[in-house]
Amino acid sequence: MSLDTLFRPFEYKSLRLKNRIVMAPMTRSFSPGGVPTPAVASYYRRRAPEAGLIISEGTVVDRPASSNDPAIPHFHGEQALAGWKHVIDDVHAAGGAMAPQIWHMGIVAPHASGWKPPTPMEGPSGFVLPGEAGGVAMSECDIADTITAFGRAAAETKRLGFDAVEIHGAHGYLIDQFFWAGVNKRQDRYGGATLPERSRFAIEVVRAVRSAVGEDFAVILRLSQWKQQDFAVKLARTPDEIAAWLNPFAEAGVDIFHCSQRRFWQPEFEGSDLNFAGWAKKLTGKPSITVGSVGLSGEFIAAFQGESSRPDPLDELIRRLTRGDFDLVAVGRAMLSDPHWVSKIREGRHEHLKDFTREALATLS
């Protein structure tokens, strides 16, 4: 197996990446009051010489109930943005490139600490799960303000000097709640029987982001078929449905599709071994990022529940990357627990690769 394809540079608009490895966005909850600390900057700085691109943990846009956790970073407000400025300057000084992942959680289960945002959690129709109320339905005015907030966060991304921006449209959070018929029961233009109809909110977010950053700045959209609330959901059931879902995003200004799976090797549909990132690239012609258990034996939700993962070979990943299925490869837990994972892979120091255990989540090392 040759690792050459993994260590080729990648260039696209504002991105100049030294290799194809992306540090996946991972919430760490180490930013009290929403402000990233110097320890957060050091954590990213340590990974900057390794990953081609770092995508930050989800960082929330300026809506009163965009987060359920006071230690999740904000991407608005003077102090939080000053914290992010340190992060990107440190990452650049260490030879890295970085995109913040801008996020609104929508309606999710309350945080374990009991902390609550100042206003009720908000989503398309007030549901936390199909049929189960958990917050309020957003008015058209709330929707318009949220779209503006995403646009403002994107403008700040560019002003602070980041290399790209990622919109979090996956995993059952706000944008994905609009996609999901199970919790989007709206009768207005933000709802509808089809996935393209329920994509209107996300399309308007993408347009606001694109207009805030201009044509030359790379915009990444993270999507998933699965929801943290229900792994079995499939928004698009056929390649045609994927095309009908994604092509309007490409037209609205998405440059790169970040296709989240829990296990990257799982085919999206019967009759082809292409995964979600493979279909996204094939059907839109845009670059794509794959993710999900790269280099590890177990997947990440089980890891939250305490299941350990062992290092796993990269042969299947390299086969797909070399075939051109996708352009970039995001690595989550392996890079969370080991800042030197990329060097160890490149240098073949497999005996030094670490298991992933839940304990790694407790520190920002």
Ligand X SMILES: Cc1cc2nc3c(=O)[nH]c(=O)nc-3n(C[C@H](O)[C@H](O)[C@H](O)COP(=O)(O)O)c2cc1C
Q: How far apart are CA 67 and CA 110, in angstroms?
A: 10
- Compare residues 88 and 289 and give the one whose CB is closer to ligand X: 289
Tokens representing residue 4 in the block: 């050459």
Alpha-carbon distances, residue 346 vs 6, 290, 343 (angstroms): 9, 19, 5
Q: Which of 86, 222, 227, 320 binds ligand X (CB under 6 A)?
A: 222
Interaction of residue 102 with ligand X, rule CB under 6 A? no
Site for ligand X in 19-38 (CB under 6 A): 24-27
List beta partners, residue 77. none
Residues near 294 by beta carbon (within 8 Å), at least 6 away in sequence: 264, 314, 317, 329, 330, 331, 332, 334
Single out the segment in contact with ligand X by CB under 6 A; choices: 36-44, 197-205, 242-250, 291-299: 291-299
- Compare residues 236 and 294 and give the one whose CB is closer to ligand X: 294
Interaction of residue 332 with ligand X, rule CB under 6 A? yes
Interaction of residue 168 with ligand X, rule CB under 6 A? yes
Interaction of residue 327 with ligand X, rule CB under 6 A? no
Q: How far apart are CA 283 and CA 128, in angstroms?
A: 32
Residues with a catalytic annotation lie at: 173
Single out the segment in contact with ligand X by CB under 6 A; choices: 9-17, 166-174, 203-211, 340-348: 166-174
Q: Is 318 in contact with 10 (CB distance < 8 Å)? A: no
- Compare residues 91 and 108 and give the one whose CB is closer to ligand X: 108
Q: Which of 5, 31, 225, 260 binds ligand X (CB under 6 A)?
A: 260
- Compare residues 15 and 99 and give the one whose CB is closer to ligand X: 99
φ, ψ at 338 (rounded to 5°): -140, 105
Q: How far apart are CA 284 and CA 301, in angstroms?
A: 29
Q: How far apart are CA 220 and CA 17, in angstroms?
A: 14
Shortest separation between residue 262's beta carbon and ligand X, angstroms = 6
Q: Which residues are at the interface with ligand X (CB under 6 A)?
A: 24-27, 57-58, 101, 168, 170-171, 222, 260, 291-294, 296, 299-300, 331-334, 361
